[in-house]
Structure 1
Amino acid sequence: MRIRPVLVLVVLLLAGCRIDGTASPAPDGWEFVSEQPCADAGADGASDFSCVTLSVPVDHAQPAGEHWDVTFGVLRAEGERKGVYVTATGGPGSSGLDVADSYAAAFPDDVRQGFDVVFLDQRGIGLSQELRCDDTYYSYSGFVDTSSTPAERDAFADASTGFGEDCFAEAGVDPATAPRYATAQAVEDLEDFRQWLDAPELTLYGESYGTQYVQTYAAAHPDRVAGLLVDGVVDLATDQPEFAVEQAQGQSDVLVATLARCDTNPVCAAVAPGDSLADYDALLARLAADPVTPPGGDPVDDYTLRAAAGSSMGDPYARQEFTDALNDALVGDFAGLDALGNGGYGPTSDFSDALYYAVECQDYDVVPEGGDPRAVLDDWLDAGAAAGVDQLRLSSFYGDVDCLFWPGSTTTPDFARPAPVTDPPYPVMVLNADTDPATPFVGARSVFRDLVPGAGPADAAIVQLYGPHVIYGRGDPCIDEPVDAFITTGQVPAQRVTICTW
């Protein structure tokens, strides 16, 4: 797509003055800090954007209290501005500014011409008061599952409590601020930016966790939403550990679908003829009993095989790479599984694992205020056992168990998650693949089912069969064209449900 370079802006740094936006409010609200090219601000992934930093209340319920600096990237409309299009990326914990250039390069000319395009570093990542504890996170080894004994559960509770405390200590952040990373606080930063930008409404696109972000904003400010796009949907009405069970089952289901697809593909089936699912199960058992070390590699055991599979389910291309590695292993070559399952993992500048927990552990009332997290741990594990999570071929059920012992888990007041949206005053498009392991299709189905057809502005859904986690922007016209039209016109397809195939 054609990209027109952004002109360097001359920024007036006098108090309360700037090129664009409304006048700064009184000191007890948000305040304008600066505007500069994002490349100068250190956001190399947003070199075409201008970075606007606002000083916002740490707790929006107490605007006269402590403030944090939060940074938004804006690529101004090339022509007359008809609207503002905001992208909220996934995680939680990702930097939106890191992907701004690459995402915006694929936007159609109508969006670039008529819309201010906005990406953001959510509070806690990148240029927005970054929260990191990489050393603590990558040295942490707490483990628990449904078979753990009471003593092992006690040990996990102690280790997990220490993990949260050590994380905030490494970050140099007071654990008392833990509740301030909640999405409900972060979306008010966007509302402050909307006011600064002097935009009456926002068209919101959220992917993965970003769907949680934009739905939360829309619940708080429905009159400020021109349209809502949710892609890889989190259903806000689904609580933990119910979502963890859905995710675990979804991940295992995608593995089954991937192996079944291999059997129907002549090339894949010819490499290792037979029942791929049975071959996977047999190899898993074999590696548990007798790990294999390929030349120059690391030992490949059953955990390696599961890790290789789990890391490959989010995208059809990665699924193909996994089936290739599996087929090679079935004939004695384990190098592919070694690379996929024993690959190096470590911190990256565009993602904060600390922020992941800081947001996730606040967005769900995992422990009732004043409750006993150790007792809740038993409840979680009982729910996992009842769902059979440890019998699944893959399972991500335990990803958020540390939230039970995260700072603030027992002291943060309980809050009601936004109610299901049934008749919003804005149009909605729901996007999901039926083989999405991270945000399983059941979540999108629930959100779409709650929308009452014909009751207000139109809504529609697009489902991609065998598609990846997050389906927009990958070059499929069946998806991209109606989404592009929705962004620019607010109109949904005439057909309420569209089925696309990978």
Structure 2
Amino acid sequence: MKKIRKVVAGGVCLLTVLSGVAGTSAAATTGPVLSWRDCGDGLLCGSLAVPSDWARPGQDPITLGLAKLPATIPAGKRGVLLMDLGGPQAQISAFRQPALQQRFAELRQWFDLVIFDPRGFEASSGISCPLPAPSEADYVFAEQAAFDAYAEQNARFGRECARTPLAGELDSWQVAHDLEAMRKALGERRLNYFGNSYGTVYAQAYADLFPGGVGRMYLDSVMDHTNPSLRNWLGQRARANERSLHRFAGWCAAEPSCALHGRDVLTVWDELIERATQQPIPGGGTTVSAKQIIARADVSAERRWPAFGTALAEAHAGDATKFATKPSFPPDPSVMRIAICADFPYPGDYRAVRAVETSLRTVAPRLGWRQAWIWAMNCARLPGNGTFPPHRRDFGGFPPVLVVGGEYDDNTPPEWGRHLAAQLPGARYLAANGDHAVYVDGNACARAHVHRYLTAGQLPPKNTVCA
């Protein structure tokens, strides 16, 4: 395993915002210039050669794939806005969809929108892993033997991937250097950046390492990479997951169509889990355990609350058929977990994971504690785990950035965004009554604030909440 990279001491800053026109008075721009070609679906595509390992620039280069949606009003163009919508995963193929392009039609009035596939994914030099990444829908492992078998499968997957030299070079430290190379190749004196979800991890690393290149940055649904306490960081996500269960209970109390309307939903949940712990509930020609119900409980998305209410009511009545089918998920891009676990390491020992679960049960006793196992499913015993882990930054003395979070988001909980914003003097945190990916999800209030910020540097008033 590669030695963990150390944070450079001194001179660290984050997310500079210019008060005037973006692209003035910044670091010199040198390096290759991108050339663009039409690659269909309204996109112009280009490529950029960078080192496979920025810690050893003499190593064989790799190629980064980029694509551009040109500004629709060139006369009023304010430069380039580099974007990453998260994952981590390929971006260019997603942006071939007209529906996604339409979400950014307003921003295209003012900016060339440039997207890129992070190293390891699709149009960038990719990694082809010989074995598929393992997954387990019932990821709450009740027995050590089952966990150990899964973790060893995950380790074998990682060892085979590691035969590709790039496999150990996918953390956000490397991607931050890629961003700096892109800034230079785009001819931009400052990097104006739109980061959503995992794209915010790259933003944090870039601003930490290249403060002189930072322009305006909009960070939506922050994945906090500045909290080195695993239990504190994961506890915030566990509490958010628990809040989703409570919000579902509140919806049932107010919504006559809910199958549990008029009943105490949390009591129903507690009774069902206790009963299933003593003896699995029959249904669908099999039986369903308490940990299977917990793993299969889908409470995050409001649109699925009616179905979940029905499933819960029937299971409490003795028929767990609607919980009996193991969910099937499309396989994640194999490279995804390699990149995530390089930035967010996680223990691979069963007892250590159980200790995390015990800690999370103190803050999220009904449901949120399952987060301990979600992360284990991805990272358990994966080679390259933790090459660039979360760490505190010493930010200060820089103009504000705009951070937005959905108050109902249990994927990247609002606590993460607030924690990052609190470290940035003058930063503005904008709360939205919504879920994950506030801008892309179409919150009109938040979008208007984002447009004013990116085009004119204008931040929303303090304590603004977007309905």
Alignment TM-score, normalising by the size of structure 1: 0.74
Cα shift at 1:479: 1.6
**Match for residue 456 of structure 1?**
none
CA distance, structure 2, for counterparts of residue 157 and residue 343 of structure 1 = 22
The answer to whether the Cα contact below 8 Å between 2:155 and 2:383 also exists between their aligned partners in 1 is yes
3-state SS of the aligned residue for 2:371? coil
1:496 and 2:462 are equivalent in the alignment: yes
Shift of 1:105: 0.8
Q: Distance in 2 between matches of 1:403 and 1:344?
A: 20
Q: Which amino acid aligns with 1:105?
A: Q
* Residue of structure 2 in register with 1:399 after alignment: 374
2:393 corresponds to = 419
- For 1:262, the equivalent position in structure 2 comes to 252
Q: Which amino acid aligns with 2:424?
A: L
2:327 to 343, 346, 349: 343
Using the aligned pairs only, state the percent identity.
24
Deviations 1:288-311 (A, max 9, x none): 5343434xx87655445334424x
Match of 2:118 in 1: 122
CA distance in 2, matches of 1:175, 1:382: 34
SS of 1:60's equivalent?
A: coil
Counterpart of 2:428? 460
Q: Give the equivalent residue in structure 2 for 1:309.
A: 297
- Kindly indicate whether the alpha-carbon contact (under 8 Å) linking 2:137 and 2:328 is maintained by their aligned counterparts in 1: no
Distance 1:118 1:391 in 2: 43
**Aligned-residue RMSD, C-alpha:** 3.5
State which of 132, 147, 157 in structure 2 corresponds to 1:136. Answer: 132
* C-alpha distance in structure 2 between counterparts of 1:240 and 1:94, whole Å: 29
Partner secondary structure for residue 473 of structure 1: helix
Structure 1 residues 211 and 318, CA gap change in structure 2 (3 angstroms):
farther
Cα 1:123/1:290, change in 2 over 3 Å: same
Equivalent residue letter for 2:37: Q
CA distance in structure 2 between the partners assigned to 1:280 and 1:56 by the alignment: 53
Which letter maps to 2:398? P
Equivalent residue in structure 2 for 1:436, among 409, 419, 439? 409
Counterpart in 2 of 1:6? none
1:33-59 Cα deviation digits (max 9, x unpaired): x743334xxxxxxx2211212222111
- How far residue 213 of structure 1 moved from its aligned partner, in angstroms, is 1.4
Counterpart secondary structure, 1:400: helix
- Work out the CA distance in 1 between the residues paired with 2:124 and 2:443: 34
Relative distance call for 1:99 and 1:251 in structure 2 (3 A) is: farther
The answer to whether the aligner puts 1:37 opposite 2:49 as a matched pair is: no
Separation in 1, partners of 2:208, 2:221: 18
1:351-394: CA deviation from partner (whole Å, max 9, x where unpaired): 51x32321122224658xxxxx75xx655543432342794324
Q: CA deviation digits over 1:45-79, x for unaligned, max 9?
A: xx221121222211112222122222111112231
Mapped to 2, the partners of 1:137 and 1:365 lie a distance apart of: 17
State how far apart, in whole Å, the 2-side matches of 1:358 and 1:442 are.
25
Gaps of 5+ in 1: 1-21, 26-30, 40-46, 368-372, 454-458
Quickly say closer, same or farther: Cα 1:267–1:156, change in 2 above 3 A: closer
Task: Determine if the alignment matches structure 1 residue 244 to structure 2 residue 241.
Answer: no
Q: Name 2:12's counterpart in structure 1.
A: none
The verdict on how the C-alpha distance between 1:70 and 1:293 changes in structure 2, with shifts beyond 3 A counting, is same
Q: Secondary structure at the match of 1:268?
A: coil
| C-alpha distance 139-326 of structure 1, shift in aligned 2 (>3 A) | closer
Contact between 2:282 and 2:318, CA under 8 Å: does it hold in 1?
no
| Partners of 1:70 and 1:424 in 2: CA distance | 30
**Among 444, 454, 461, the residue aligned to 1:477:** 444
Give the drift of 1:99. Answer: 3.8
Q: Quick one: distance in 1 between partners of 2:318 and 2:100?
A: 41
Indicate which of 87, 93, 104 corresponds to 2:89: 93
CA contact 1:432–1:471 (8 Å) conserved in 2:
yes
Q: Which of these residues, 331, 336, 351, is aligned with residue 356 of structure 1?
A: 336
Structural mapping, 1:43-82, within 5 Å:
47-78=41-72, 79-80=74-75, 81-82=77-78
The aligned counterpart of 2:155 is 164
Secondary structure at 1:280 match in 2: helix
1:281 aligned residue: 270
Q: Does 1:450 align with 2:414?
A: no
Q: Verify the 8 A CA contact 2:37 2:45 in the aligned structure 1.
A: yes
2:420 corresponds to which letter in structure 1?
V
Q: How many residues align?
A: 431
Structure 2 vs 1, CA of residues 144 and 274 (structure 1 numbering), >3 Å: closer, same or farther?
A: closer
Note if 1:107 corresponds to 2:111. no
Alpha-carbon spacing, 1:204–1:100, altered in 2? closer, same or farther (3 Å): farther
Supply the AA of the counterpart residue of 2:329. Answer: Y
The structure-2 alpha-carbon separation of the partners of 1:335 and 1:133, relative to structure 1 and needing over 3 Å to count, comes to farther
Contact 2:138–2:326 under 8 Å retained in 1: no
DSSP 3-state at the match of 1:472: helix
* CA distance, structure 2, for counterparts of residue 407 and residue 112 of structure 1: 41
Q: How does 1:219-238 map to 2 (within 5 A)?
A: 219-238=208-227
Pairs within 5 Å for 1:323-342: 323=309, 325-327=311-313, 337=323, 342=326
Q: C-alpha displacement at 1:418, in angstroms? A: 5.9
SS of the equivalent of 1:237 reads coil
Shift of residue 336 of structure 1?
Answer: 5.5
Cα pair 1:88 1:214 within 8 Å, conserved: no
Partner of 1:408: 384
Give the distance between the partners of 1:337 and 1:70, measured in 2 at CA: 43
**What TM-score do the two structures reach when normalised by structure 2?**
0.79
AA aligned opposite 1:392: R
Bigger relative contact order, structure 1 or 2 (CA pairs below 8 A, ≥6 apart): 2
CA contact (8 A) 1:232 1:433 kept: yes
Say which SS state the counterpart of residue 194 (structure 2) adopts: strand
Q: Aligned pair 1:210/2:199, yes or no?
A: yes
Match of 2:16 in 1: none
**DSSP-derived class of the 2:132 partner:** helix
What residue ranges of structure 2 are gaps of 5+ in the alignment? 1-28
User: In structure 1, which of residues 319, 322, 326 is the aligned counterpart of residue 308 of structure 2?
Assistant: 322
Residue range with higher mean Cα deviation, 284-293 or 186-195: 284-293
For each residue in 1:133-187, what CA deviation from the matched residue of structure 2 results, as whole angstroms up to 9, or x when unmatched?
4853236799786x86xxx38x856753552333442x4x526644301111012
